[in-house]
Structure 1
């Protein structure tokens, strides 16, 4: 046994134990004869640093992994990082800019070499931070989405999809980032409400018979208008359909067409159609018979005005930046008399989440995956139960997206990433192959050039569950650990990653990638607002770890994770669970001071004392609750079960009840129960539990690989004698037909209930602890309670009670409680000044009720609830609830006095 310091300091403990675990290879799955358990970490960006979402996600994964390891399973937690195409290229380009250099100063190969150099020097920050959190990943098999084996898998999948007719090249609109000059995914687009304008324009009919008015938030795009659409049932335009209008500035003649996209109730009911620069207009254009190849484009890759295919854009506009062009186009429209009016309007505007610039819909040639057949298989797997989504409420969202799925644009105009394995000859023919040699063979030996684009990062990460295990090679790890058992994911990447993993896994492995998909919520600030740097309400998990320890942060996140509901993270909760770790630490010190060390048995020890039999039974019940919560993936339920048992049942009551009575049996039970606590708590708070595990005595193994508890309560050897004794003492309770432990539980829990009731009476009525109280059992004879109150020394020590008495009626001026179906009175005559106490309580009740009613009136006033800040309203509600509860408590105390 190692004497523990008085003060619990998590920092040094955490550093020491993590180095030990990793150095000893204890995270490796090396139990080849055991049942496998597999989970893959959503690969964080190689550019990233640990944020609170990562902390939640990885804490939940680590809890499941550590418990599986303790269950004796061959637990593999796959770890790795994503090459993060745009993010990484941006970081390296920023470094070059600081040296007055830019990417195009180098060849593609030279630039990529610089990215690899950055990755080796700076790309491991987040993995170091994950270690701070306690993540027990298989670091010896860390993967990277650009490592050679993974890249081979990516290339093979691309080629196979093309062979199967599921991957093709097409001209379509994409989200285009003018700063990075690449297509980006929907996930990389943030929509912000910004102050803008709504311009109404006049387009004259080409025959001079009138005009049509249209409105737009982007007047510069009229340079590429190709039609004006009206609703087919809009009577106002029935005679104009088929006619042409002449565009101002360009003079282009465009037709008036019908399409249900035009809303007769909105503005004039006529809308300008620019199919090369708007997603809705693109679909209207296709319905009108305009081929994508014929759609006009008026912006280059940098969002500067370029000449359209018909050459009608005025020379003075060419090369202008889009917003400067907007200003000039409006001036030209006004000069022509084509500007009807300008209105202020709040506009939903898309921005690149990394570039911070406005995103443009742009018509480009890209590679697409036809994911509809893949989505059908993913939906069928979910319907059949092969994929279980937790919480089940997300299933509807899952199906809605998969049912309406669109082709997936998988190409990006970057230099960093998996270069697309496609080659073009001088005639534009494309050849897809795993190597250039194979492509040249397909091309009959002609000279080829490789596609300049790279693949979307999500394309490669969709292969994560099987490519990390060695696929396309049929490795032992692949055979053993695919499918994975569970995936822990934020709901925000349900489509971008989770669904695509399901589709690719079913397509290339013939099986689902994981059996259970668990979706957690977002971590918000204490007021429930989404965290953002602009609001200044982000939380640094490493700062919390430095302040309170990793164990406290981990337990907080687990305790607050309630199957997909967002978490309102309050630092006070983290502080509270730091206090929980301290409570555990002090309990260990108390046990040590009373000669209690490490348990010598995994099985529950033999015990005869009621308090010890009760404690063993409580361990069993807690384990059952904990296991059930694990089975249901109720992380809050897991934390609740072990927290309340550890703090309340063990530390507050068992330790109190056995204080001063540590015989050999009690030492054995206390040691065993504390060991069970350390084992059950380890997945949540690995550092402090490992430290205490070793401090309590010599151990043959580390706690991280200790056996998950399976205590079994066997019939007690004194059961028969107990049955006979209880049949005489308390025949009405029929203990003779019940297990000994049920009776032990009744004795101890009744003791606790009486002590708690007496303590409440003392607190509420200001009764000094120097004054002893006499319990009076009122009414029918209760030998069980009489014996309990007479024999249990805890009542004198913990509640300051005299020996019990019996009475037919409640004595005058008594406080009363109901325990175990009996009324127990405590006469107060001579104990306190009853009149003074009544006066004190009445005064306190009046003051609290006044505050309560004032807050109720405030909350009932709409001018407060609708105009005040949300946090002010929330505080008022909390204060009202507290005052109401206090009023009830004081009123109950007054009622006790009769």
Structure 2
């Protein structure tokens, strides 16, 4: 008699669609969460705080795979902590992206043949704001599509009034403390954008250029001369020295003398400096202080002149030579030709492949250029940022990234914070008519007739304040008191230096502010944990790029496979500090997992499964106790993995528990138990409890399908605000686990035998199972027969084949009547294969046990285990040989 729900009876499963279709439900589910206010944080709550600030995407950006990974991991952390009873703030916002946004708007103007100069600064800025309101922020809509559980009521923008107030406050304070200054220094200069750009906006590429060796001094080998090599021969117009190593005997007689410049008539001194490698090239190098970082440092050490030989557009200027007015690349050719005419080109090598920095935004090669800029003095700030990690105020995950952090902050150079743009935070320095200057803080005004510095601040300056400016700093706010310092920063290791270091410097600099110390935790650092994940690469491990055509649009995957599939694919591959490779096969696998979960839960609902108070464990079956114990173990495994930011481990544990243990085994066993009136009700409760906990454990990573299923399974309001599964205090039933393991092995071996014989999966075979009592498997026989498709034999039963399976307590023999069904040739082949495997195992274990050196070093437990393997192999050989002999072959 069966107590499973009749097919004509209405069940909770009827509330679910026929199959899982993410596109039909995801948008509505997400909007429901937002409307319910589940993601809004309450600073007056008595719950413990947990806070993350979203690394602000560019206002002109769109979601790429790196964003999708970032957001999936942050959302998973936030959702889990919310379920654990924390007051969670995940704060969103966007970066004004100075260069990128200005370029985007200028391109729109260019369509009408206009430039920003046609409008002037104020009108152009108005147009940028118009663009931001109408076109910018596309990415926030995409964030909703992947399920970001963000507090949209707190959305910020780096150019809004509150953050602008914070930027001006920080600049003023640092200027007054002597940490911001103006000086001529070498910068990364973009001739196309005509501004300094940051290191992160410089991408190095191998290019085919030329290496020209040229001769300074006499063309007569017997008279004073030196030979130097360069890949940028045009920069020799700005040479102010030739350097050699102090101990290089070849040039010691020339140190302190001068040689005439071939074009300018300037006398070029020969200087000695330890920087020069005497083993490289000729051991002599040309020094152009205004156009090379290393040369600049040498120029400072030797007090060399530093003439700038190019204008802002990259044209040769102010050299007093025939090359003035030429583009730098035209000049490269003309200078080389002119030197050759003088007989000074000693050698030329083409092509000469070398690495050259290019502007990420505009594509042209960067020109190191001496320029008057604003700088942050970083020595003390960088030291504090390093000490924050050394002292454990902030913990880097994984710890293997710490050396990279220290290598950067312990050797950091002063930071150029000015940009020659119009869109951005204007530098709050004002100049008077007589050369006076003043730095103005918020609310302060300059005297009439004074003019503000035309430059704007590097975008990283404002985004460096992000963890606390977004919560209201410099004012003392409830958000700061509750949620600062933030709990964790989640970001890729590739921007460890550029953004993370800035935030740490600013955060430690203002750590003593009363506004950051009003809560329970002092604001020593901007975040307590720093989790660094790797880069998303294609399925072959290659970096994704438009030029290679191997980029993947995460929104394409959302449309085709669902947001859960995208998220699970990324989280399942996310190990701390390691890159992850993803391809369409991974997304399909994740979609299949969501489908499997959906179908399993629907089946359970059709059979009346629901969370319930369970009877005493002694009244449960071995399979019930086993699956509950496995759930408890996996829950602990998942908790540990999440706390260590090991998302991959958490996902792997849940995937295999859900698919391999719940779906492949317990659901099948439950079908058998449903047919037993004495077991049906408790089975429904066990299955309901397991699915309830499993869905909650999976929810942080795959929120949509788990919400859909959990609400129907439990009748609860939303899994978003459900509690996280808690551990039971019961010891695992190891005896039950062993019985289930033995049953699984027995079923697996019978299934393997059936497959080898070509039996259809649904075909039932009469069989006797011998040795059940000795193996302590009596209670497992109904499920064994059902899952292995074995029927009770009738009176005419005659075994034609058998399968012997060695279990933990005894060997069980399954005698089958396969007359008319078994392929004897296939059976012999299977046995021969098994015999070969057993003989190989016997040979390997015997060899190890005969190795005196191994026995002398190996622990007793290891030796005993090998002896056990040897004994099993010996018994298997005897058993299989007997079977082969009985079949008439040897």
- Short-chain TM bin: 0.7 to 0.9
Task: Indicate which of 425, 438, 448 corresponds to 2:432.
Answer: 425
SS at 1:377's partner residue?
helix
CA distance in 2, matches of 1:358, 1:561: 35
1:142 Cα deviation (Å)? 0.2
Aligned residue runs from structure 1 range 591-740, under 5 A: 591-597=604-610, 599=611, 608-662=620-674, 663-696=680-713, 698-699=715-716, 701-712=717-728
SS at 1:757's partner residue?
helix
Q: Show structure 1 runs of 5+ residues with no match.
A: 715-738, 805-810, 847-890
| Change in 2 beyond 3 A, CA 1:833/1:11 | closer
Counterpart in the other structure of 1:807: none
| Change in 2 beyond 3 A, CA 1:762/1:38 | same
1:388 Cα deviation (Å)? 0.7
The Cα offsets for residues 229-278 of structure 1, whole Å up to 9 and x where unpaired, read as: 11111111111111111111222211111112322222222111110111
The Cα offsets for residues 528-580 of structure 1, whole Å up to 9 and x where unpaired, read as: 01111111100110001111000011011111111111101121111011001
SS at 2:488's partner residue?
strand
Q: Does 1:552 align with 2:568?
A: no
Counterpart in the other structure of 2:311: 300
Task: Indicate which of 747, 753, 763 corresponds to 2:739.
Answer: 747
* Mapped contact 1:521–1:567 kept (Cα < 8 A): yes
CA distance in 1, matches of 2:549, 2:488: 34
1:775 Cα deviation (Å)? 3.6
* Mapped contact 1:605–1:672 kept (Cα < 8 A): no
CA distance in 2, matches of 1:758, 1:220: 80
SS at 1:707's partner residue?
coil
Aligned residue runs from structure 1 range 498-897, under 5 A: 498-510=500-512, 511-597=524-610, 599=611, 608-662=620-674, 663-696=680-713, 698-699=715-716, 701-712=717-728, 741-766=733-758, 769-777=763-771, 783=773, 785-786=775-776, 788-789=777-778, 792-801=781-790, 815-826=803-814, 832-835=822-825, 837-838=827-828
Counterpart in the other structure of 2:390: 383
Q: Show structure 2 runs of 5+ residues with no match.
A: 1-11, 513-523, 675-679, 794-798, 837-876, 885-890
Q: Does 1:351 align with 2:341?
A: no
CA distance in 1, matches of 2:332, 2:298: 24
Task: Indicate which of 235, 238, 245 corresponds to 1:221.
Answer: 235
* Mapped contact 1:417–1:454 kept (Cα < 8 A): yes
The Cα offsets for residues 426-465 of structure 1, whole Å up to 9 and x where unpaired, read as: 444432121584554xxxx8x4211111111111111111
| Change in 2 beyond 3 A, CA 1:812/1:609 | closer
* Mapped contact 1:224–1:298 kept (Cα < 8 A): yes
CA distance in 2, matches of 1:578, 1:784: 44
1:159 Cα deviation (Å)? 0.9
The answer to which of 230-239 and 463-472 deviates more is 230-239
Q: Does 1:336 align with 2:342?
A: yes
The Cα offsets for residues 153-189 of structure 1, whole Å up to 9 and x where unpaired, read as: 0111111111112111111100001111111111110
The Cα offsets for residues 267-295 of structure 1, whole Å up to 9 and x where unpaired, read as: 222111110111111111111123xxx41
Task: Indicate which of 324, 332, 347 corresponds to 1:326.
Answer: 332
Aligned residue runs from structure 1 range 56-205, under 5 A: 56-205=69-218
* Mapped contact 2:774–2:810 kept (Cα < 8 A): no
* Mapped contact 2:626–2:736 kept (Cα < 8 A): yes
The answer to which of 791-800 and 673-682 deviates more is 791-800
The Cα offsets for residues 668-701 of structure 1, whole Å up to 9 and x where unpaired, read as: 22222211111111111100111112233632x2
The answer to which of 403-412 and 30-39 deviates more is 30-39
CA distance in 1, matches of 2:618, 2:454: 74
CA distance in 1, matches of 2:617, 2:178: 66
* Mapped contact 1:605–1:669 kept (Cα < 8 A): no
1:605 Cα deviation (Å)? 9.6
| Change in 2 beyond 3 A, CA 1:176/1:383 | same
SS at 1:255's partner residue?
strand
1:339 Cα deviation (Å)? 2.1
* Mapped contact 2:614–2:686 kept (Cα < 8 A): no
CA distance in 1, matches of 2:732, 2:722: 30
* Mapped contact 1:524–1:566 kept (Cα < 8 A): yes
Q: Does 1:467 align with 2:456?
A: no
1:814 Cα deviation (Å)? 5.2
Counterpart in the other structure of 1:277: 291
The answer to which of 67-76 and 794-803 deviates more is 794-803
**TM-score, length-scaled by structure 1:** 0.85
How many residues are matched?
804
SS at 2:812's partner residue?
strand
Counterpart in the other structure of 2:850: none
CA distance in 1, matches of 2:311, 2:827: 84
